[in-house]
């Protein structure tokens, strides 16, 4: 029965939501309530939704007495019987309420049907089920429907559910029963009617909690299919015919006598697939055929299954732990979903293992391999079919990538020629086998498939060494091509690195673990400016720290000095002044013998800024003068670059001493030089400070113009630090103009930016600003 929330009820929901720090359509709320985002949206809009969903939404946000949320006009509909039913739901541990359904035993006694028992309750996949029901209707033009997907994804379960719905619908029409008794009553598509349903399975094995068990009986040929048709339709003349042509004619006659649904399960393991496809193409128009296969069959109406979406996956886990008596909290349920990637067979098997005493902590630990039976059942047959082909190389190669790789990277690591048609054909083959999938210009792989492929690669040590070398070299070439210094609109280069960052980081981690110093050093140096500008400070410090430590052991002092300069600067920005001073001072000491003049200038300027932060203005001026003197030994454009640094640092000193007129002059000089050499980062830097001074001087029009230009450029260049500073400046501008609410909005954005970057000093400043603006707002 549908229910809707009252206005007063929604106010209580709003208060409860704020206590949990959830957004209006928070995915955590949807997960906890096992409802879709659209369902939650309807609830919050005061629209009717199903009573079970209504109750779960209330309970998820912490309101057990859901009746106080219901609109009063709806409350009168709650009869004592209905109310008792919902009271039982309140104390139930199950995520869904079951009502009486048709007795499946009675259905299986109907004539002319041959369906196996459903071993698990069918959950989720509503859209896929409706799509399948549409195309399996005899009114739909395609005579064959194909359902493909990786092993264990639920192809057979989906087809069986559709077949049982057809059987239920037929039974209810014949007995004039209530269609609400259908096992999936809320479908928008009615099941088609078939007078006969025939199921033929070529599945080789089943995956049970005890392991993989071979099937005692399989139907693997065209003759087996003819036998199943003869048995189900009680037509012995089919098998009594001797000549194949006569047999085929008898089959067509038998199928023509009634409307028939013919299901061929696991086509990939059947002999003479081409013969069977040809047979299915010639079926009479009273028959609809459905094929399931791990290998995608582009025949008429294809339906491809992927892993369960999160909400369906969580629902299946809850159903299984209830059925098997396993106790898991909400957080553990989400962890299990993330570990198993929404693959139904893996979740069912894993929960069976938990029920048998397997430790949950080991199950979700990514460093511990999942059960071998899952991999063998889901992938072994498909991988065996490509083991001696280029497609196998591609599968092993894609498993090395932490995130979905670009085609050129994948083909290169596999050792294939990107322009060769073999590479394209092999990628297509892997997609047809549901071992990989395409995401725009990239190729993806499920976590379970990756794990199995890596196990395959580990068995072949020589091949793994060659493939790892190609993997490292590709990322090294890529980082050197798009990394380096931050000249011009650096985003045009660094955006490529950002898109590939997770893969680059995984290569660096791998090099660190195995002490591949030279490779890790060269990639790390190429990425140093990108790591700083794009805000990867924590991960960047870990990467640079390993290279520095390894470089010191090897006495690679040139690298040590260069990366200590960058590490010290990042620590300085994060407010870790003592660590920054240690890195920079030691780097300066080493630079006398090992550093380049560029690095010495960089360290000197960083030390000047460090002492400004510490309030040691005299020492800061000394380092600023040192940098200004050293830069004269550089060639352009680096000489002008450090002239801009020196001017900006002098301006910073004047600003801190509240000599705003001199600071403004110096910042303007630095801006003019930065524009002359098209150094985008420092044009933005100086615009920000000039805007800050304009606010102090009350020139809001000039401040707005400077901020608008700089903020757009900072966002375009993904300069996360500069974006946060511009947001801080906007907050100050709006506060100065008396727009307190807008000032608070910008202040919160700036604070969030500083928090993400780890800039503790700036974060504290913004907290004080927000407290002050909040007090001002209350006073007004």
Query: What three-state secondary structure class fits 574?
Result: coil
Q: What is the pLDDT of residue 212?
A: 54
Across 20-34, 91-105, 175-189, the highest mean pLDDT is recorded for 20-34
* pLDDT band at residue 653 using 50, 70 and 90 as cut-offs: very high
Which pLDDT does position 7 carry in this prediction?
Answer: 81
The yes-or-no verdict on residue 323 having pLDDT over 50 is: yes
Given this model, what pLDDT does residue 32 score?
76
**pLDDT surpassing 50 at residue 75:** no
Sign of the torsion angle spanned by Cα atoms 10, 13, 14, 15: positive
- Residue 663 reports pLDDT greater than 70: yes
- Tokens 């709003």 correspond to 14
pLDDT at 779 over 70: no
The pLDDT assigned to 631 comes to 93
At residue 639, the pLDDT reads 93
- Residue 609 pLDDT: 94
Domain with CATH 1.10.260.40 in the chain: 2-91
Decide: helix, strand or coil at residue 132.
helix
Q: Is the pLDDT of residue 497 over 50?
A: yes
Q: Which CATH topology does 2-91 take?
A: 434 Repressor (Amino-terminal Domain) (1.10.260)
pLDDT of residue 207: 58
Is pLDDT above 50 for 93?
no
φ/ψ of residue 79, rounded to 5: -70, 160
Q: What are phi and psi of 631, to 5 degrees?
A: -65, -20
pLDDT tens, position by position, 150-171: 888 889 999 999 998 888 888 7
Residue 669 confidence (pLDDT): 95
Confidence bin at 418 (pLDDT 50/70/90): confident
Sorting pLDDT into bands at 50, 70 and 90, what band is 776?
low
Classify domain 538-779 at the CATH class level: mainly alpha
* Mean local confidence (pLDDT), 533-545: 84
Q: What is the pLDDT of residue 554?
A: 93
Higher pLDDT, 208 or 608: 608
* One-letter-per-residue 3-state SS of 229-294: HHHHCCCCHHHHCCCHHHHHHHHHHHHHCCCEEEEEECHHHCCCHHHHHHHHHCCCCCEEEEEEEC
pLDDT for the residue numbered 96: 35
pLDDT at 80: 40
Give the tens place of pLDDT for each residue, 683-702. 888 999 999 999 999 999 99
- Note the pLDDT of residue 757: 86
Within the chain, all domains assigned CATH 3.40.50.300 are found at 104-304
Q: Is 619 exposed, middle or buried (0-12, 13-18, 19+ CB in 10 A)?
A: middle
196-201 and 260-265 strand pairing: parallel
Tell me: pLDDT of 606 over 50.
Answer: yes
Supply the pLDDT for residue 642. 92
Instruction: Label residue 99 by pLDDT band (50, 70, 90).
Output: very low
Range(s) within the chain of domains with CATH label 1.25.40.10: 538-779
What average pLDDT is seen over the chain?
Answer: 84
Q: Tally Cβ neighbours within 10 Å of residue 478.
A: 22
Tell whether the model's pLDDT for residue 90 goes beyond 50. Answer: no
Residue range 217-270, pLDDT digits in tens: 555 688 888 888 998 998 888 888 878 788 889 999 999 999 999 999 888 777
Q: How confident is the model over 65-72, as a mean pLDDT? A: 84
Looking at CATH, the fold of the domain delimited by 104-304 is given as Rossmann fold (3.40.50)
Q: What is the pLDDT of residue 751?
A: 92
Give the residue-averaged pLDDT of 757-767: 88
398/92: higher pLDDT: 398
Most confident of 264-268, 275-279, 543-547, 650-654: 650-654
Task: Give the lowest-confidence range in 29-38, 113-122, 535-544.
Answer: 29-38
Q: Rounded to an integer, what distance in angstroms lies between the CA atom of residue 307 and that of residue 124?
A: 11
Tokens coding 633: 């030994």
Give 596's pLDDT tier (boundaries 50, 70, 90): very high
Of 34-43, 166-175, 366-375, 433-442, where does the model show the most confidence? 433-442
Q: What is the DSSP letter of 215?
A: -
Percentage above 70 pLDDT, the chain: 89
């Amino acid at each position: 029965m549908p229910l809707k929330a009252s206005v007063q009820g929604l106010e209580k929901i709003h208060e409860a939501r704020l206590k949990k720090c959830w957004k209006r359509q928070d995915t955590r709320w949807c997960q906890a309530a096992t409802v879709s985002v659209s369902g939650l949206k309807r609830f919050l809009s005061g629209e009717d939704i199903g009573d079970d969903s209504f109750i779960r939404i209330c309970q998820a946000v912490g309101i057990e007495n859901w009746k106080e949320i219901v609109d009063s006009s709806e409350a009168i509909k709650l009869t004592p019987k209905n109310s008792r039913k919902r009271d039982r739901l309140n104390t139930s541990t199950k995520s869904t309420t079951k009502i009486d359904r048709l007795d499946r035993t009675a259905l299986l006694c109907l004539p002319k049907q041959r369906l196996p028992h459903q071993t698990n309750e069918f959950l989720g996949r509503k859209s896929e089920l409706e799509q399948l029901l549409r195309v399996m209707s005899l009114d739909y033009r395609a005579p064959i429907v194909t359902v493909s997907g990786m092993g264990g994804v639920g192809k057979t379960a989906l087809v069986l559910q559709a077949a049982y719905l057809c059987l239920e619908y037929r039974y209810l029409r014949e007995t004039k029963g209530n269609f609400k008794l259908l096992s999936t009553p809320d479908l928008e598509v009615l099941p088609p009617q078939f007078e006969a349903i025939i199921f033929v399975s070529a599945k080789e094995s089943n995956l049970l909690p005890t392991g993989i068990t071979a099937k005692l009986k399989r139907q693997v040929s065209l003759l087996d299919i003819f036998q199943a048709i003869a048995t189900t339709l009680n037509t012995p003349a089919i098998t009594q015919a001797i000549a194949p042509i006569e047999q085929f004619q008898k089959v067509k006659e038998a199928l023509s006598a009634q409307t028939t649904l013919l299901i061929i399960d696991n086509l990939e393991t059947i002999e003479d697939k081409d013969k069977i496809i040809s047979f299915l193409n010639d079926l009479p128009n009273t028959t609809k055929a459905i094929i399931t296969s791990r290998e995608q069959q582009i025949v008429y109406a294809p339906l491809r299954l992927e892993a369960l979406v999160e909400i369906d996956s969580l629902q299946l886990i809850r159903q299984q732990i209830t059925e098997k008596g396993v106790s898991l909290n909400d957080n553990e349920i989400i962890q299990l979903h993330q570990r198993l990637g929404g693959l139904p067979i893996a979740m069912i098997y894993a929960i069976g293992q938990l029920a048998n005493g397997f430790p949950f902590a080991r199950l979700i630990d990514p460093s511990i391999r999942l059960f071998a039976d899952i991999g063998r059942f889901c992938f072994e047959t498909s991988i065996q079919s490509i083991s001696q082909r280029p497609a196998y190389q591609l599968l092993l190669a894609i498993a090395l990538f932490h995130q979905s790789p670009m085609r050129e990277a994948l083909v290169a690591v596999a050792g294939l020629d990107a322009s060769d048609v073999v590479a394209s054909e092999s990628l297509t083959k892997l997609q047809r086998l549901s071992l990989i999938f395409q995401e725009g210009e990239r190729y993806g792989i499920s976590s379970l498939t990756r794990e199995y492929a890596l196990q395959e690669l580990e068995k072949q040590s020589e091949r793994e060494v060659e493939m790892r070398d190609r993997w490292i070299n590709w990322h090294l070439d890529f980082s050197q091509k798009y990394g380096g210094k931050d000249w011009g609109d650096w985003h045009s280069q660094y955006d490529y690195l950002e898109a590939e960052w997770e893969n680059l980081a995984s290569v660096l981690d791998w090099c660190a673990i195995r002490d591949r110093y030279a490779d890790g050093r060269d990639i790390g140096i190429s990425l140093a400016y990108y790591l700083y500008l794009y805000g990867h400070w924590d991960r960047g410090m870990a990467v640079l720290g390993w290279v520095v430590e390894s470089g010191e052991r090897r006495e690679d002092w040139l690298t040590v000095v260069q990366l200590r300069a960058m590490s010290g600067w990042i620590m300085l920005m994060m407010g870790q002044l003592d660590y920054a001073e240690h890195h920079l001072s030691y780097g300066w000491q080493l630079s006398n013998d090992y550093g380049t003049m560029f690095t010495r200038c960089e360290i000197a300027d960083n030390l000047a800024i460090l002492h400004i932060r510490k309030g040691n203005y005299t020492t800061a001026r000394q380092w600023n003068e040192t940098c200004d003197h050293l830069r004269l030994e550089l060639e352009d454009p680096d000489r002008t670059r450090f002239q801009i640094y020196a001017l900006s640092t002098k301006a910073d000193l004047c600003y801190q001493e509240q000599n705003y007129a001199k600071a403004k002059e110096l910042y303007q000089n630095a801006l003019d030089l930065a524009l002359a050499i098209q150094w985008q980062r420092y044009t933005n830097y100086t615009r920000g400070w000039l805007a800050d001074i304009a606010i102090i001087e009350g020139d809001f029009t000039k401040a707005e113009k400077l901020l608008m230009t700089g903020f757009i450029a900072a966002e375009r260049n993904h300069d996360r630090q500069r974006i946060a500073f511009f947001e801080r400046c906007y907050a100050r501008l709006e506060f100065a103009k008396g727009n307190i609410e807008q000032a608070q909005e910008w202040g919160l954005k700036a604070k969030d930016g500083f928090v993400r970057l780890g800039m503790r000093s700036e974060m504290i400043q913004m907290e004080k600003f927000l407290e002050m603006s909040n007090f001002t707002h209350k006073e007004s």
